[in-house]
Structure 1
Amino acid sequence: MWSLDPPAITARHSYDACVGATKDPGRRRLLLAAGDSVEAASERFRRAAHSGTLHELPGTGFTVPGIPAEEAVRWVYGNGMVNTRNGRAIYDQLMAAPADERCPLCGHGVVRTLDHYLPKRMFPALCVDPLNLVPACADCNHAKGESLPVSAETTLLHPYLDHIDNDPWLTARVVVTNPVWLEFYVSPPPTWGPLLADRTRHHFELFGLAELFAVQANRTLNNIRQHLTTVLVAGGRELVRAYLKDEAATRLAHRLNGWEGVTYRTFASDDTFCSGAFSL
């Protein structure tokens, strides 16, 4: 998981912007009248998020008063945020937050959608709350679905709230098979508590990051195998290692837990790989 700066847009501003352009006068009055209740729901969401108790939020109390959940989501999010000028401006601003359009949930895919951290069908009052809207790739959005935390340990990392980028937690090992493979896993630093470690592992497993990163690492190896062979012939194992360490340093300086940097670092640290196992 790779962090993003929390949106500066308030939940109330987003809601008012999304419902203010509703064309039907009666519907607009009904939606605007629910503003205080929606704002209160957003405050409860924030308190739970900051206190680590999102898994304790009840299934009630997050409705838009007087409006069935399905209609509220359609009117506020579908019509108001996606299809009106003011709402769409907020949508586009949230979508543009990740650098290089990189999905913050997996660190690899291209952002294509806004994922509702708490599902909009079950929490319609939060359907346009910026804190509940995370830019994501389509694969991560699909993998997450409408999953809800059942405990503190199964609460997914939140890109706006959980900042773990400054600590090295992603690592891998070389598996010498035919072909050679990398096995990625979470290795929490000693400064982390057990809860953060468990949440990171759960996030890693839910989104299938071990498999995703292994596939990408294998593609990287296929792209550099010929060069590694040339370097090995020219200067032996240590020259191969030096090349891989340089490549790792460049990538890790940009993304400490990026799969690319970890891939090169892992290759460089393995004597068998540097001695020619990359040719398997």
Structure 2
Amino acid sequence: MGIIDAYGDYEDVLRDIRRFTSLADGSDVLTKALLGNYALLDRGRPLEDLRNSIFLTALSRNSRCPLCQRAQVCALDHFLPKNHFPEYSILADNLIPVCERCNRLKGDECDREGGLLMFHAYFDEFPDKEILFAEVNVDTTVSIRYHLRRSDEIDNITFERVKKQFETLGLFDFYQMEAVAELTDQVDLYDETHGDFGDSGLRSTLCALSRGAERKGVNHWKAVLYRALSRNVEFCRGGYQKLLATPMN
């Protein structure tokens, strides 16, 4: 009955992990046995269908990694790492389809002392108030820098969890690289729009691109990028042309 009871406690563990220790704590034999269950999800093993159904759920959501919102899912992350809580090694609620990069960087991250966990893709909602911002600088190059800023509508604990997620997964640098690729791919559109409709036309286009990306969330990296570009007078005035000749930083 211990495993069944642990499954029933899962959401309580997420709410305050500091109050819980693993069912296998102190027992190497039990830990090894529970960790061995994960192999049952492999192809041709008894729980292959469970693994397939979890990935099918991700496919129905465009297969984007819920941690970085960018890369394709290809791995199963144990939200509560199986090395800390082996009893959850095959619990579907604890198995999150993610990309290889996020799975590697998250690793065994689990703050059992402070109780500060990252965002769970099934049980938590990322803040819907602006908390992620992009700073655009147009000089000899166009540079983009992402940063977090707490809104008065976001409590400190939620903000610290956001920071933890961004720092653990290196999302500031990752989104900067994605922004480089996005702007380079779209530079011809900016040039044509500005040539036909001027500064205001380009600003309107950037606003429209931001609104489209906001369907994925107000803090989606692409929505944040285009919101910042639309508000940057120098970029809309023709500063985007620096993209044509000089690599971005």
TM-score of the two chains, using structure 1 as the length reference: 0.77
| 1:41 match | 6
| 2:169 match | 207
Tell me if the contact between 2:128 and 2:217 (Cα under 8 Å) persists in the aligned partners.
Answer: no
| 2:247 match | none
Per-residue CA distance 1:205-259 (angstroms, 9 max, x = gap): 1111111111111111111223322332333211211111122122213433222
SS at match of 2:48: helix
The structure whose RCO (Cα within 8 Å, separation 6+) is larger is 1
2:16 pairs with 1:53: yes
Corresponding residue to 1:197 among 159, 168, 179: 159
**How far has the Cα of 1:178 moved from its partner?**
4.1
CA distance in 2, matches of 1:83, 1:223: 39
| 2:245 match | none
Gaps of 5+ in 2: 243-249
CA distance in 2, matches of 1:90, 1:247: 38
Corresponding residue to 1:151 among 114, 118, 129: 114
2:182 pairs with 1:217: no
Per-residue CA distance 1:107-159 (angstroms, 9 max, x = gap): 1111101101122123211101122111111100000111211413x311111
- Which stretch shifts more, 62-71 or 172-181? 62-71
Larger Rg: 1
**How far has the Cα of 1:86 moved from its partner?**
4.8
**How far has the Cα of 1:189 moved from its partner?**
3.5
Could you say if the C-alpha distance between residues 69 and 247 of structure 1 is closer, same or farther in structure 2, counting changes exceeding 3 Å? same
2:211 pairs with 1:246: no
- Which stretch shifts more, 253-262 or 110-119? 253-262
SS at match of 1:171: strand
Tell me if the contact between 2:119 and 2:126 (Cα under 8 Å) persists in the aligned partners.
Answer: no
TM-score of the two chains, using structure 2 as the length reference: 0.86
Could you say if the C-alpha distance between residues 223 and 117 of structure 1 is closer, same or farther in structure 2, counting changes exceeding 3 Å? same
Query: Considering only aligned residues, what root-mean-square deviation do their CA atoms show, in Å?
Result: 2.3
Tell me if the contact between 1:183 and 1:210 (Cα under 8 Å) persists in the aligned partners.
Answer: yes
Could you say if the C-alpha distance between residues 95 and 178 of structure 1 is closer, same or farther in structure 2, counting changes exceeding 3 Å? farther
Give the alignment of 1:63-74 within 5 angstroms.
67-74=29-36
CA distance in 1, matches of 2:139, 2:6: 53
2:41 pairs with 1:81: yes
| 2:237 match | 275
| 1:118 match | 80
Tell me if the contact between 1:231 and 1:239 (Cα under 8 Å) persists in the aligned partners.
Answer: yes
CA distance in 2, matches of 1:195, 1:66: 34
Could you say if the C-alpha distance between residues 81 and 65 of structure 1 is closer, same or farther in structure 2, counting changes exceeding 3 Å? farther
- Which stretch shifts more, 89-98 or 128-137? 89-98
Report the AA paired with residue 42 of structure 1.
Answer: Y
SS at match of 1:104: coil
